[in-house]
């Protein structure tokens, strides 16, 4: 049926509750709004669902969540693993508890036990919980750092990582195969509980999760030595990080942890923020005010589902607080772990650090310096989690750290997704190490730049909403793919990678080769002078993203080079 027919079906069919039908009746006559809500089904992509909350097939609501859960249940039951159950967590967003219950009761109606957290929890704790409970899959209801009108639904598999091939395509196929809403099952919550198909989980998982985090500490004696002196400001951005972050820092002995009071409690409207994203400098306004009042050494913020971490650190020379990108904070942790594991003789056999293709090239220099293997994967932390599974299955390497540019990293293998709680813990250990030396995290960052080179990265995004926007984004990618540029400004393209078709082109000789990574709609340009650019449509937002990085000789030189590359990219597209 076309979008008008779908609209009429939802507006008049008593399968949908009165609230839904009233919401749709209120937009009668607004054809553009009706088209946007019904021109397609909300896409169940490789990670799950994400969209604006509201009535319609292209919205997040109890019906699209049920349909996704029915498709997941069908896939699980066909695989014969339903007896293991599914773990479910949710964040502080609008409708998150309701969507979690809808998912749980659909699974229960299909004979699959749901383990549901008693209140909001971080995404990484779900990854930990499903493995701890021996579940076949997991669900997190979250839209991460998106604006408050969004929510989402992420699916994990039994290894604790977000679903990867073949499970992602298999689940997508089952969801897309559902054309009749009548086949989507649900059941009464009380009945599900009485039949043992809905179980609440909580403190017992929290305690085990905390115990696993503490195992990653390398120098507890350094933390003890400075715990009374180091001063930490933290904000959970109204999300799930507040309780676990404060607990882990308290149990490690940090005495001066100041939480931004206005952003401490869960708030689905994110009232104090334009955008609950640790990449956004404006989001740190209240935290930086508190940091100056308390003379903090480090300022940290976790996004609403606590899988991503943003930080500021004091410049000892100016006294100002300097923002760190995800690449910067991740590489501080990376070098600290590699250096101190070697120094304490606790480095595992055949160590490997895993990054994505859009992560800083500083990772190449650091891993080379410490004799650690670096493995690059596609964008998305699920591919880093997949490497941990492969290491365990094959014994080929030992995972020591993983990071991506988008403010996500993972220390340890307790989870298989980025974990801002453990990242907070490790950065506080690194800050403690600096405090003992009489320097700051920014001083340590400068030391790294002086040692390896001034690597700097940025991202340029173009937003194109609606059906026409998707077509424009596709046209941009098609143009770059069919006629790849030979240069971006003064930087020649050395090699072109088309991951969708698994093809590489040496731009000087014209020789073609094959990529080593799975098929994905990503284009990568390896440039002169340790520079690069990558184009990729977002999987969760109506955007096309251009990632880029350079290597400079100093802070100013790096900024100028990156600005020049950014302008060159804009000129090409």
Q: What is the DSSP string of 73-112?
A: HHHHHHHT-GGG-EEEEE-SSTTHHHHHHHHHHHHHHTT-
Phi, psi (rounded to 5 degrees) for 352: -140, 140
Q: Are residues 195 and 214 in the same domain?
A: no
Which residue, of 177, 201, 225, is where some domain finishes? Answer: 201
Q: Are residues 191 and 227 in the same domain?
A: no
Which residue, of 452, 474, 496, is where some domain finishes? Answer: 452
Per-residue pLDDT at 437 exceeds 70? yes
The one catalytic residue in 144, 406, 520, 531 is 144
Total domains in the fold of the chain: 4
Q: Are residues 493 and 436 in the same domain?
A: no
Query: What six digits make up the tokens of 409?
Result: 């990293």
362, 455 Cβ separation under 8 angstroms:
yes
Q: Are residues 424 and 499 in the same domain?
A: no
Distances (CA, A) of 355 to 154, 194, 449, 479, 521: 21, 45, 19, 28, 18
SS3 letters across 339-398: HHHHHCCCCCCCEEEEEECCCCCHHHHHHHHHCCEEEEECCCHHHHHHHHHHHHHHCCCE
Mean pLDDT across 281-295:
97
549, 532 Cβ separation under 8 angstroms:
yes
What does the mean pLDDT of the chain come to? 96
Q: Are residues 224 and 336 in the same domain?
A: yes
Mean pLDDT across 220-242:
98
Q: Are residues 307 and 444 in the same domain?
A: yes
Model confidence band, residue 108 (pLDDT cutoffs 50, 70, 90) = very high
Model confidence band, residue 278 (pLDDT cutoffs 50, 70, 90) = very high
Q: Are residues 258 and 382 in the same domain?
A: yes
Distances (CA, A) of 396 to 69, 388, 390, 393, 400: 35, 10, 8, 8, 13
267, 276 Cβ separation under 8 angstroms:
no
Domain that holds residue 350: 209-452
Residues 448-490: tens digit of each pLDDT: 999 999 999 999 999 988 778 888 899 999 999 999 999 999 9
216 Cβ contact partners less than 8 Å away, ≥ 6 residues apart: 411, 412, 422, 425, 426
Per-residue pLDDT at 99 exceeds 80? yes
pTM of the full structure: 0.94
Q: Are residues 23 and 165 in the same domain?
A: no
Active site residue 144: yes
Per-residue pLDDT at 544 exceeds 80? yes
Model confidence band, residue 540 (pLDDT cutoffs 50, 70, 90) = low
Q: Are residues 240 and 388 in the same domain?
A: yes
Q: Are residues 259 and 121 in the same domain?
A: no
Q: Are residues 474 and 432 in the same domain?
A: no
Which residue, of 423, 452, 481, is where some domain finishes? Answer: 452
Please give the pLDDT value at position 275. 87
Query: What six digits make up the tokens of 115?
Result: 């383990």
Query: Among residues of the chain, what percentage have pLDDT more than 90?
Result: 94
Q: Are residues 307 and 335 in the same domain?
A: yes
Model confidence band, residue 119 (pLDDT cutoffs 50, 70, 90) = very high
Q: Pairing state of beta strands 398-404 and 351-356? A: parallel
Mean pLDDT across 512-521:
93
Query: What six digits make up the tokens of 500?
Result: 């969708």
Mean pLDDT across 550-567:
97
Please give the pLDDT value at position 326. 97
* Ranges 212-216, 239-243, 276-280: which has the least confidence: 276-280
* CATH at 241: 3.40.120.10
Query: What six digits make up the tokens of 31?
Result: 């054809």
421, 241 Cβ separation under 8 angstroms:
yes
Phi, psi (rounded to 5 degrees) for 259: -100, 135
Please give the pLDDT value at position 470. 85
Mean pLDDT across 53-77:
97
Mean pLDDT across 509-521:
94
Distances (CA, A) of 152 to 35, 62, 141, 518: 21, 11, 6, 25
Residues 302-341: tens digit of each pLDDT: 999 999 999 999 998 999 999 999 999 999 999 999 999 9
* CATH at 568: 3.30.310
Per-residue pLDDT at 539 exceeds 80? no
Q: Identify the helix (H) or strand (E) that includes residue 548.
A: strand 543-552
Please give the pLDDT value at position 466. 78
Please give the pLDDT value at position 212. 98
């Amino acid at each position: 049926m076309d979008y008008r027919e779908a609209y009429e079906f939802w507006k008049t069919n008593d399968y949908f509750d009165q609230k839904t039908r009233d919401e749709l009746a209120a937009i009668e006559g607004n054809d553009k709004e009706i088209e946007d809500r019904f021109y397609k089904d909300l896409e169940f992509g490789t990670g799950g669902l994400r969209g604006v909350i509201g009535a319609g097939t292209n919205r997040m609501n109890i019906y699209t969540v049920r349909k996704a859960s029915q498709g997941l249940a069908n896939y699980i039951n066909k695989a014969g693993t339903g007896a293991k159950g599914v773990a479910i967590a949710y964040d502080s967003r609008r409708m998150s508890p309701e969507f979690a219950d809808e998912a749980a009761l659909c699974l229960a109606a299909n004979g699959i036990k749901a383990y549901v957290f008693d209140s909001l929890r971080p995404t990484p704790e779900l990854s930990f919980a499903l493995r701890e409970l021996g579940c076949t899959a997991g669900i997190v209801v979250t839209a991460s750092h998106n604006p408050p009108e969004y929510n989402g639904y992420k699916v994990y598999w039994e290894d604790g990582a977000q679903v990867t091939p073949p499970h992602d395509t298999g689940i997508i196929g089952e969801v897309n195969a559902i054309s009749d809403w009548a086949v989507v099952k649900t059941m009464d919550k009380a009945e599900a509980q009485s039949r043992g198909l809905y179980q609440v989980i909580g403190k017992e998982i929290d305690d085990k999760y905390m115990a696993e985090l503490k195992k990653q500490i390398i120098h507890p004696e350094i933390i003890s030595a400075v715990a009374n002196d180091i001063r930490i400001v933290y904000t959970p951005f109204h999300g799930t990080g507040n309780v676990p972050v404060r607990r882990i820092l308290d149990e490690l002995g940090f005495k001066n942890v100041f939480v931004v009071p206005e952003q401490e409690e869960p708030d689905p409207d994110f009232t104090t923020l334009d955008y609950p994203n640790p990449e956004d400098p404006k989001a740190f306004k209240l935290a930086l005010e508190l940091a100056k009042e308390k003379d903090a050494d480090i300022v940290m913020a976790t996004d609403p589902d606590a899988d991503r971490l943003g930080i500021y650190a004091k410049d000892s020379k100016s006294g100002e607080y300097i923002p760190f990108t995800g690449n910067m904070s991740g590489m501080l942790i990376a070098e600290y772990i590699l250096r101190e594991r070697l120094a304490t003789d606790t480095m595992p056999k055949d160590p490997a650090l895993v990054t994505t293709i859009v992560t800083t090239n500083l990772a190449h220099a650091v891993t080379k310096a410490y004799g650690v293997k670096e493995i690059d994967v596609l964008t998305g932390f699920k591919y880093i989690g997949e490497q941990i599974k492969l290491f365990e299955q094959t014994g080929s390497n030992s995972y020591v750290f993983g990071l991506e540019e988008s403010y996500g990293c993972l220390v340890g293998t307790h989870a298989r997704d980025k974990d801002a709680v453990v990242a907070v813990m490790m950065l506080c250990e690194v800050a403690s190490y600096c405090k003992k030396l009489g320097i700051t995290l920014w001083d340590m960052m400068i030391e790294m730049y002086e040692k390896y080179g001034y690597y700097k990265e940025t991202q340029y995004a173009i937003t194109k909403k609606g059906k026409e926007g998707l077509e424009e984004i596709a046209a941009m990618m098609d143009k770059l793919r069919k006629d790849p540029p030979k240069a971006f400004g003064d930087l020649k393209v050395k090699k072109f990678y088309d991951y969708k078709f698994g093809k590489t082109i040496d731009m000087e000789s014209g020789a073609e080769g094959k990529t080593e990574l799975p098929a994905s709609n990503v284009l990568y340009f390896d440039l002169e002078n340790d520079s690069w650019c990558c184009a990729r449509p977002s999987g969760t937002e109506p955007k096309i993203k251009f990632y880029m990085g350079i290597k400079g000789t100093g802070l100013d030189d790096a900024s100028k080079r990156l600005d020049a590359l950014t302008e060159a990219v804009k000129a090409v597209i």
